[in-house]
Every structure is written in C-alpha cells, then in structure tokens.
Homo-oligomer: A and B are copies of this chain.
Amino acid sequence: MNLRELSSLLGLSQTTVSRALNGYKDVSEATRARVLAAAKAHEYRPNTRAQALATGRSRAIGHVIPKISTHAMVNPIFADFIAGAGETYSQAGYEMLISVVDVDDEARAYRSIKARGLVDGLIVSAPRMNDPRIELLDEIGLPYAVHGRATGTERPYSWLDVNNRRAFSRAAEFLLDLGHRRIALINGHEEMDFAHRRRQGLEMALAARGLAPDPALMRQDEMTEGYGYRAAREMLAMPDPPTAFLVSSVICMLGVRRAVEEIGLTLGREVSAITHDDQLSYLRDDGPVPAFTATRSSVREAGQRLARMVLERIDAPDAPHRHELLEAELIIGRSTGPAPS
C-alpha cells in the first residue's frame, strides 16, 4: 500500500492525504479522520526512502565503530549504550545506523556518510584527547553529540559526560579517609579522555592531602579481566604494596578481586578497592549491599540522554551547544574498609 493507492482508494489527491497524515492545517477534520482510519485499516506506512528523498532528512542517526584491526576489542559498554540510545530513537521515530569503519579510514567514512545522505546526525563515542573528529564533523556539516569530552579541543561542541575527575577524586578521598595512603590506579588507556580525567581526579585528591602520586602504582591498558588480575597481582607483590585500588571498570575489578583472593586476602579487609560501575546489565551488582564500592553512573541512561541531545541539534543546528555532566554516585559496598595499620 503506497500513497497513490491509498489516495485513489479514498478518492482524494496524494497531496491531501499526505497533508492529512502529517498534521497540516488545511484539511478538514472530517477528511482527516477518514484518511487516518483508512491508513490504519490498510496498515499504510510511508516509504522511508521516498520520504527521505523528498524531505532531505533520513530520520536516522549514525554510530560509528572504529575498527582498529581484526582482533580489536569491542567496547563492553557498547551494548548498553546502544540499547539506551535506541530506546530514545524509536520513541522519536528515528532509526539507528551502525557503521564499522577502519580507524585510519574514519575521515573518509564520515564524509561518505554525509554525501550519501545516510543519517541526519551522529554520535561520537570514545573521544580521545584532541580528538580530530570534532573539527571534521563541523567542517562536513553533520550534527553530532559526543559521548565524553575531548580535552584540548577549543571549539564548542555538544557533549554528555560523567564527571570522571570528581568521581575518582571523591573515591580517592573516601579511601584516604579510611586511612589508605598507597592507592593504586588500574586505568584504561590514558589517551582516552575519560581515563586521563580519572587519573587527574586521583592526583587531585592526593595533592589535597599533600601526597605525591606514585607512578609505580599506576597502570593503563585495555580493560579486561586479565589485565585487572595481572596489574593487581604485580602491585601486591611489590615490597611496599598498595592498600587500595581505584579501578576503571567492573570487568577489571573482577580480576582485581581474583588477584586479591588468590593470595589469601579479602577485599574490604586487608585490601580495599573502588571501581567505576557503568551498570552494565550483565554485570549488575545489586543486592542489599553491593559487593563493590563503586562510582556508579548508568551508561544506558547516558545513551538515552545523548540520543536526545543529538536529536535536538538536528532540530536546531544553530542553537548553542548543550552539555550534560552526570555526577557518579558513590555507592558503598563491601570492597572497602579501613586501611590495615
């Protein structure tokens, strides 16, 4: 069933039917009701491709996944973020387009996406410091919103971020209050903006107490369980081991717990640890008292809100840029306790 069929069936012009369906003013309520009823009865849906061609808007938002190499890691938060964004899109009548793109081909991919008219806007994820994509997208003229921030970028852009610095400084303060002095950081890659900020948060908290950060207690890598395990294992074997860990992801945290327990210690007793918890649905740590003390912020909700933000930019490309800074909640679980004396 297409518009022509529907309108000839109703004895009306395509114009009138189209305007009736799209809520225009100049069609009588009586015919509008007739049109709506007929459309429903025949399950008419406008062909999106034709609509897009006619309006110049595709009602789709793109998410680009940079592919580093064949064996590159997929970001574990990806699924929950997508789920959140997808909910917003479907409510707004938008589709979500995912492009897997070679990382050294990214610029060309963005230009191509624009030229082919695939999407009305983009989500930029995992920004690095001085991320070139922001300037690129401005130049191309494609509305976008960034999940995170890009330290070093001067130009204004719309973003949504967790207050990573504050989250990790609060977590560090909490550990310092418990008497911990040697606090290790098991971080993600620090060219990632979020990781950079988390380290700053820890260092700020240390500085406020007159403590100097110890480079030997800071690690950065891809955030796998094995990395968390190895990092914790190695640091705990040092002559002057840390008594507490700040960990950048629950997945790493699982490895940290394993390392701690393997040498006969217990989290929350001899060793404390706080993780950042994105509330990934398959790793949720609920229950009356959560296992892990954590700085918690739902990445799914971030997806929802960021989706809304990019839709706003599409509707009003010249509006001033908006920023949302989500404060992570500090959830006290069983993985922290007073520093051993």
Query: A285 interface residue, CB < 8 Å from B?
Result: yes
**Chain B residues closer than 8 Å to A184, beta-carbon distance:** none
> In the complex, what distance in Å separates the CA atom of A287 from the CA atom of B1?
58
Q: Identify which of B73, B74, B117, B257 contacts A47 (C-beta below 8 A).
A: B117
Q: Name which of A82-90, A268-276, A326-334 contacts chain B.
A: A82-90
Complex Cα–Cα for A242 and B286 (A):
27
Pairwise interchain contact A118-B95, C-beta atoms closer than 8 A: yes
Q: Which residues in chain A, 221-256, are within 8 Å of chain B measured between CB atoms?
A: 222-226, 251, 254
Contacts of A24 in B (CB 8 A): none
- Let me know if B95 and A82 touch, CB within 8 A: no
Given A73-B282, A79-B79, check contact A65 B49 (CB 8 Å): no
A50-91, CB < 8 A from B: 50, 52-53, 58, 60, 65, 67, 71-76, 78-80, 82-83, 86-87, 89-90
* Contact across chains for B98 and A96 when beta carbons are under 8 A apart: yes
Considering residues A52, A71, A262, which has the most beta carbons from chain B within 10 angstroms of its beta carbon?
A52
Q: Which of B53, B116, B225, B283 contacts A224 (CB 8 A)?
A: B283
Assess the A89–B100 pair: CB atoms within 8 A.
Answer: yes
B45-A112 in contact (CB<8A)? yes
Which chain B positions have C-beta within 8 A of A48?
Answer: 116-118
Q: Is A104 on the interface with B (CB-CB < 8 A)?
A: no
What's the Cα separation between A44 and B117 when bound, in Å? 12
Complex CA distance for A83 and B285, rounded to whole angstroms: 27
Residues of A98-145 at the interface with B, using a CB-CB cut-off of 8 Å, are 98-101, 111-112, 115-118
CB of A321 closer than 8 Å to a CB of B: no
Question: Judging by beta carbons under 8 Å apart, are A282 and B251 in contact?
Answer: yes
Shortest distance between the CB of A160 and any CB in chain B (Å): 19
Complex alpha-carbon distance, A72 and B83, angstroms: 10
Looking across the interface, which residue of chain B has its beta carbon closest to that of A285? B226
Query: Is there contact, CB below 8 Å, between A79 and B74?
Result: yes
Closest to A102 in B: B90
B100 engages A87 (CB within 8 Å) = yes
Query: When chains A and B are docked, how far (Å) is the Cα of A98 from the Cα of B96?
Result: 5
Residues of A within 8 A of B (CB): 1, 43-50, 52-53, 58, 60, 65, 67, 71-76, 78-80, 82-83, 86-87, 89-90, 95-101, 111-112, 115-118, 222-226, 251, 254, 257-258, 261-262, 280-287, 300
Q: Which 9 A-B pairs have the closest CB atoms?
A: A86-B100, A45-B115, A73-B281, A48-B116, A49-B52, A76-B282, A78-B79, A74-B79, A79-B79
